A and B are shown apart, each in its own frame.
Chain A
Amino acid sequence: MKLYRQGDSGKAICEHCKAVVPTTFVYRDVPFGDHSGVVKDILVAVCGQCDQVVAVPPQSTPAIKASREVASKSIEVILEVPYLEALDLAAYKIDPLSTVEFRKPLLVYYIHKLAQDENATQNFATWAHDLIHQNKSVMKNVPRKRLSFKVTPRINDEITEILHVTKLKKTDLIKGLVSQIDQDIVRPKTPKKLATLQTIAAVVTC
């Protein structure tokens, strides 16, 4: 394998400068594209014009892999669009300035609350199962979209535990959680948990 060293030079295409630019290899902290974490002190090539990171050599992959495994586990589900609309409406009601990035903290809040109470988990399972069954005919010809986000291993463990207790599928768990969010936040005029969730929104979107 070709090993690069700090100070080596090369060329690359820079997205920012939209040109082929000269590059220099340096050590940098580089964030993941999905904001799930930062890889510290990896060798990268930076643009000679704008100083942005434009290339990563394969020798930095082990460090990226290690950081990634600590930072994230992937949750991916396909949902009927009304579920996503309800989730986004709830996010909007909590904080009109929030973006789709608030979907994840909102769901994680509900996952964490549910995981802490086994009785609530059991009740939720029955309620969610019935509700999803009722909605099935309504949602039959509705378009579907992918919802994906990364969670920490701790939240992933909580999801696994909830799935084990409730015997729900992951998609049904998320549908159930969104239905709960719909009932708690979207439908009431003055939601009970609004103040807490507004604080969370302020923290995560700061």
Chain B
Amino acid sequence: MVPLSARRIKAVDNLINLNSKLSCNYEIFRILYSWRMGFKQAKFAVLMALEKGDFLHEARNNINEKNWLKTGQVSVSEVVEIIKICNGNHHTESPHHWISSVTVHVIKRDGWYIKFYFLEPNTYFISVHR
């Protein structure tokens, strides 16, 4: 990701807070968060996507057995509960293998491994398993 100046981060945070107070518009949240995506923002955005059912699973011409959310071995609400109890210590991020401008987020908690990224306007899950 492009490093942001402290001033811009603060400005985006103010916009996020303002939007939160005004209307909680999901799309505006997502655009704002894509500008300033730390763990808190990624967590919020992925939880919003899960709760709205507005997400997709990455596929590589087959059904990946490592994505239990895709295969139905774990429910959306279970994944939400796991992510909710995570903090920055459970999170790492790295550039996507092929598209370096896309940040891949990995959450590891209690044996769970959850890997996802945001490709506006969608949230893509790569792996959800333990």
- Do most interface residues of chain B lie in helix, strand or loop, or is the interface mixed? loop
**Interface residue A86 (Cβ < 8 Å from any Cβ of B):** no
A48-69 contacts to B, CB under 8 A, are: 52-58, 61-62, 64-65, 68
Instruction: Given A11-B119, A58-B55, A68-B72, output 6 extra A-B contacts at Cβ < 8 Å.
Output: A12-B124, A15-B98, A33-B60, A56-B56, A58-B53, A65-B71
Bound complex: CA of A13 vs CA of B52, how far in Å? 22
Contact indicator A57/B69 (Cβ below 8 Å): no
Q: How large is the interface on B (under 10, 10 to 19, 20 to 34, 35 or more residues)?
A: 20 to 34
**Interface residue A206 (Cβ < 8 Å from any Cβ of B):** no
**Complex contacts, B63 vs chain A, CB 8 Å:** 30-33, 39, 56, 64, 68
Contact indicator A55/B57 (Cβ below 8 Å): yes
Number of interface residues of A (CB under 8 A): 31
**Interface residue B93 (Cβ < 8 Å from any Cβ of A):** no
**Complex contacts, A68 vs chain B, CB 8 Å:** 63, 71-73
**Interface residue B99 (Cβ < 8 Å from any Cβ of A):** yes
B: residues with CB less than 8 A from A are: 52-65, 69-73, 76, 96, 98-99, 102, 119, 122, 124
**Complex contacts, A19 vs chain B, CB 8 Å:** 98-99
**Complex contacts, A15 vs chain B, CB 8 Å:** 60-61, 98
